[in-house]
A and B are shown apart, each in its own frame.
Chain A
């Protein structure tokens, strides 16, 4: 049976067995041992325990544990050193990636607010083209195929148009300019929409019979006609720009005017009348000057007002690409460093 002793007594006996007690302590303990049989038997049991422990044979190493150059090699040695650096790099790159990404995401709404005018422009620029295309296709086909004879009379018609109706002639000119280059596929839908709008406009007076004759007439007049429409265009804009500064409304009208008129040709009166009067007055003088600028920059006047935001936006796209490149860079570094670190750790552990 084991005898109960306090931890302190156990410590004393243990140290006594190892000869680790100071002489005074040792003398005191020996005196107690002589009197206290229980303490004595505890000492015997402890000594036996130590004897058992010391009696155990030392095992021989089953093999030599000498290191091979590979075990001590530099590649193995590099692993633990490179590992923390790579881990740190991975974490830092990961954090930077998140920062850049968050910055990118935060700035995105601001960018989406700015380009809003741009889509409008695009829409405006596209709208007349799209609107014109159907007219071109619908007119060009009959014009070329059916009415080759109409070469002469159209000129007269065109003259009358040029002098009488500025706006309508403008549209055919566009049709002629853009019809060869632009695809005709999206046309039908747009044409149909334009037709519907016409119908809605309530212009029932439009003589359908007249359109085929006049429209094909303009087709062969590619060189002659552009002059007059541009005049009218140039004539329209100066009148409207000062009065209607905000771009969207006039541009919409502009966009609509060519779409409406070429399809149903020169006749629509209510649309023409407001444009006719102002156009004819300025035409004599400003004709040649704005001619070139207006024909080529026809969409531009609409662009002018929203042109400021795009000008500010221009530097931003490169910024954004830099951001994107930075994001990809950070993510790649984070991934690569992390993977290499894991790989090195595997190697290090063997």
Chain B
């Protein structure tokens, strides 16, 4: 069953068809939420909210990239949540280890296939990236995540943020320039394979 047929069935109230779409896109939606929110549990909530909201508003989907449409919904859900957080600032609970020390790099972020060193490096890089993303204005952050993390092209990103291509281009450029400054010194943390590829391209 292809995506269009599933969407049609879901629109007519077929929850199973919709849930198959959910399973297909939940990783993407969750990643978008996590990168925008910067922490795991709010990302989970935002993801669930986004899928519920998407189901209720299926009638507003008028063709085009379903992926971009979903990403737009989750992005808006994250904006809402972030604004709510700003109004009611809370102290995030970092996981604690056995000595009541905060675990700065929670284990569930690590890929079990990596060695512990690699995992630590990646976690550190991930943390640095997340911090830098968090310093960006929301609308810049959304675009750079859509393009560089999610791998959308410009037109899909333009659909996902509901703004013209030119806006995507300029926001993306400014977000990348800001991140460039923030991530200075993180280069060494990149896995060697990436560095090799990068240097070959130069």
Whether the Cβ atoms of A50 and B26 lie closer than 8 Å is: no
B197 CB contacts on chain A under 8 angstroms: 51
Looking at B1-9, B87-95, B96-104, B170-178, the stretch in contact with chain A turns out to be: B170-178
A:1-20 near B, CB below 8 Å? 1-2, 5, 7, 10-11, 13-15, 18, 20
Interface size, chain B (Cβ < 8 Å): 53
Whether the Cβ atoms of A58 and B22 lie closer than 8 Å is: no
If the complex has contacts A18-B147, A45-B180, are A53 and B22 also in contact, measured as CB distance less than 8 A?
no
Which range contains the number of A residues in contact with the other chain? 35 or more
A71 to B122, CA, bound (A): 37
A18 CB contacts on chain B under 8 angstroms: 147, 154, 172
Q: Is the interface of B mostly helix, strand, loop or mixed?
A: helix
Whether the Cβ atoms of B129 and A77 lie closer than 8 Å is: no
A67 CB contacts on chain B under 8 angstroms: 15, 18-19, 22, 51-52, 55
Whether the Cβ atoms of B27 and A61 lie closer than 8 Å is: yes
Q: Does A105 contact B (CB under 8 A)?
A: no
A71 CB contacts on chain B under 8 angstroms: 52, 55
B194 CB contacts on chain A under 8 angstroms: 51, 55
Whether the Cβ atoms of A53 and B148 lie closer than 8 Å is: yes
Whether the Cβ atoms of A52 and B183 lie closer than 8 Å is: yes
A186 CB to nearest chain B CB (Å): 67
A15 to B126, CA, bound (A): 25
Whether the Cβ atoms of A77 and B56 lie closer than 8 Å is: yes
| Residue interface bits A226-267, CB-to-B below 8 A is 1, else 0 | 000000000000000000000000000000000000000000
Q: Does B191 contact A (CB under 8 A)?
A: yes
A76 to B48, CA, bound (A): 14
B:42-59 near A, CB below 8 Å? 44, 47-48, 51-52, 55-56
Q: Give the contacting residue for A65; candidates B22, B147, B184; CB below 8 A.
A: B22
Whether the Cβ atoms of B149 and A64 lie closer than 8 Å is: no
If the complex has contacts A20-B169, A62-B44, are A49 and B23 also in contact, measured as CB distance less than 8 A?
no
Q: Does A44 contact B (CB under 8 A)?
A: yes
Whether the Cβ atoms of B19 and A58 lie closer than 8 Å is: no
B34 CB to nearest chain A CB (Å): 6
Q: Does A318 contact B (CB under 8 A)?
A: no
If the complex has contacts A52-B186, A59-B31, are A46 and B22 also in contact, measured as CB distance less than 8 A?
no
Q: Does B120 contact A (CB under 8 A)?
A: no
A2 to B23, CA, bound (A): 42
If the complex has contacts A59-B34, A65-B30, are A13 and B173 also in contact, measured as CB distance less than 8 A?
yes
Whether the Cβ atoms of A57 and B122 lie closer than 8 Å is: yes
If the complex has contacts A60-B27, A67-B52, are A14 and B172 also in contact, measured as CB distance less than 8 A?
yes
A64 to B22, CA, bound (A): 8
A65 to B52, CA, bound (A): 9
Whether the Cβ atoms of A56 and B47 lie closer than 8 Å is: no
Whether the Cβ atoms of A14 and B51 lie closer than 8 Å is: no
Q: Does A80 contact B (CB under 8 A)?
A: yes
Whether the Cβ atoms of B149 and A66 lie closer than 8 Å is: no
A306 to B11, CA, bound (A): 74
Q: Does A31 contact B (CB under 8 A)?
A: no
**Residues on B close to A: CB < 8 A?**
15, 18-19, 22-23, 26-27, 29-31, 34, 40, 44, 47-48, 51-52, 55-56, 108-109, 111, 122, 125-126, 129, 144, 147-149, 151, 154, 169-170, 172-174, 176-177, 179-181, 183-184, 186-187, 190-191, 194, 197-198, 201-202
**Residues on A close to B: CB < 8 A?**
1-2, 5, 7, 10-11, 13-15, 18, 20, 44-67, 69, 71-72, 76-77, 80
Question: What are 24 of the A-B contact pairs (CB < 8 Å)?
Answer: A2-B180, A5-B177, A7-B177, A10-B173, A11-B169, A14-B172, A20-B154, A20-B169, A48-B183, A51-B190, A51-B197, A52-B129, A52-B186, A54-B151, A62-B44, A63-B44, A64-B23, A65-B22, A65-B51, A67-B15, A67-B51, A69-B15, A72-B18, A77-B56
Give the 9 A-B CB pairs with smallest separation, nearest first. Answer: A14-B173, A53-B148, A66-B19, A11-B173, A61-B26, A61-B30, A10-B173, A49-B180, A10-B177
